[in-house]
Amino acid sequence: MYTTLSVSFYFKMNIFWSFIVIALVMGFTESCMRTVPPDDAYIPVTSAPGETEMPGEMLTTIAMEVTTEKVCEATSTATCPDLANFFISPTEIIQQDGCPYLKCQGSKLPTPLSAYDVTEIPPPDASYETTAFNINPPTTDAELGGSFINYFGIICDGTDWKITKYPNGIAYQVAGNFVTVGDDGSFDGKKTMLGAIQW
């Protein structure tokens, strides 16, 4: 009876330990297999020049070239006329980095002109004397930033050039004096048809 019990116990313990050993072997094998890459995997090789098989052999990487396309500001489009024609004084167009730019006259900065009947900006009270107004120019070349198109947010809308930014507001006349409004950015986004540009 003692012998039968110990054989039965021994057999059960062997089965128990066999499962434990098999589970450990499977876990170890699986973790090892995870570190072996498939045949088509790319494995970068980094060796010092002295460790390569051939003297003078150097491992290199492929250089990737990144290019960007230069996008020029449009001074004329298929539907809008040439912006140079809006300047009261003749204006020279110069090429810079393959793009056309309108050249400023000396130290003068561009001042677009428009009127209340061709803008989304509401007219001031009844004290204004004329429907015309100026879009105030930048105070320095640095403020202009080199592009009056970007500075004033000039866009081609249908067949008309329109201004959408008013960084220094607009100015209209009251009793012979200019009054500035909208220099807080409150007019930005409102479209104003460009009438002319003076220096």
The domain ranges of the chain are: 83-198
Mean pLDDT within 177-195: 91
Mean pLDDT within 171-177: 84
pTM comes to: 0.58
Mean pLDDT score across all residues of the chain: 72
CA distance 134 to 130: 11
| 40-56 exposure pattern, b = at least 16 Cβ within 10 A, e = fewer | eeeeeeeeeeeeeeeee
Q: Which residues are paired to 134 by β-bridges?
A: 113, 171
